[in-house]
Amino acid sequence: MKLSTEEEYEDLLGQWANLQSALHISLHHAQRTEAFAERITQYYSWMRSLLKHDPDLGLYLLFQVASNSSAGYSASHALVCAVLCDLVAKDCALDASEHNTLVVAALTMNLGMTQLQDVLALQKHPPSEQQKTEIQNHPQKSVEMLKAMGLSKNLLLQTVARHHRDDTSHQPLSALAAEDRLSFILQHVDRYAAKISPRQTRAGLDPQQSINSGLVEGNAVATQVSQSLKSVVGTSPPGTLVQLDDGSTAMVRKRGALTDQPEVVVLTDNQGQRIRPLRLHRTAHGGPQIEQAVAFAAAALTERLSHHQILRLAA
């Protein structure tokens, strides 16, 4: 871990927040944004530079956003999906053209319902019939908006148009046509990211449950993408709270060599009392193991977490 001071942590956190804010403005005002296509390319480059700094820290900050806040959900969701697609694309060895197209599709797939996404994240009742219609129609509306703003690559448009289709395949990703391969990955990542994010009507789901919820018997693609997600973020990603099998609560700090053995920082004992000082625990070395994810609202954490301290423990 490269962070040595709280100022460095706050600076990097600020860069992720600035990226999300800039993306939020562009998505909400896409048709009035000058050089929209170029801006999306810039956001992609910005995102990759932040991940290059430290992928675990990037995931930590992203999952904090996804698990704790519904504010600005459209941009948050787009950014989380883009990061996950970037990591999955590398894991699945997509060529550069498909890789780039997939990430741009993740950033722009919901252009046709950007404002509605933010409304639904805070809405305390199920979608109305009018909202359901808008949800159903948004992939095609997104395609039309992308065309109008100069993002007219056929593979991108097909990927966005099909990202809500409930497709299955008995073939592996490598055997599919490019448009099928990218739309399958985007479908699964989109669902996973949506399920871990909270709503007014429900808490976010356990990330491991969210990965496994996409599995369908005989659907080779869903299985492959699920396994890729486990590989790149782990069954318990950085930035998520977990309960260990000794009853203590911990924050996942860093991915491990094995998907189910990350580094964690123990926060409370089995009675819910805060531990001082915080203790780093590498689950790969034995001792208590992760039993289940813990919803932030349900965790016995009455004091504000110092994420800088959590992250520094691995330095």
pLDDT at position 36: 96
The answer to whether residue 216 scores a pLDDT higher than 70 is no
Q: What is the pLDDT of residues 28-50, one digit of tens each?
A: 999 999 999 999 999 999 999 99
Beta strands in 89-230 (DSSP E): none
Residue 71 has pLDDT above 70, yes or no: no
Interior angle at CA 238, CA 255 and CA 285, nearest 5: 40
Rounded to the nearest integer, the mean pLDDT of the chain is: 85
Query: Which pLDDT band, with edges at 50, 70 and 90, does 63 fall under?
Result: confident
Pairing of strands 263-268, 249-254: antiparallel
- CB count, 10 Å around CB of 71? 12
CB-based contacts of 59, cutoff 8 Å, min separation 6: 83, 233, 237, 238, 239, 255
Please state, in angstroms and rounded to a whole number, the distance separating the CA atoms of residues 235 and 191. Answer: 16
Q: Which two tokens stand for residue 232?
A: 């790149």
- Check whether domain 6-233 has CATH 2.40.37.10, yes or no: no
Rg of the chain over Cα atoms, rounded to whole angstroms, equals 19
With 0-12 / 13-18 / 19 or more C-beta atoms within 10 angstroms meaning exposed / middle / buried, residue 169 is: middle
Going by pLDDT thresholds of 50, 70 and 90, the confidence category of residue 298 is very low
Q: What are the boundaries of each domain within the chain?
A: 6-233, 241-312
Question: What pLDDT, in 10s, does the model give residues 257-291?
Answer: 888 899 999 999 998 888 888 899 999 999 899 88
Q: Is the model's pTM score more than 0.85?
A: yes
- Backbone CA torsion sign across 264, 267, 270, 272: negative
Report pLDDT for 72: 81
The DSSP output letter for 252 is E
- What pLDDT is stored for residue 300 in this prediction? 46
Q: How far apart are CA 160 and CA 143, in angstroms?
A: 7
In the chain the first and final C-alpha atoms are separated, in Å, by: 5
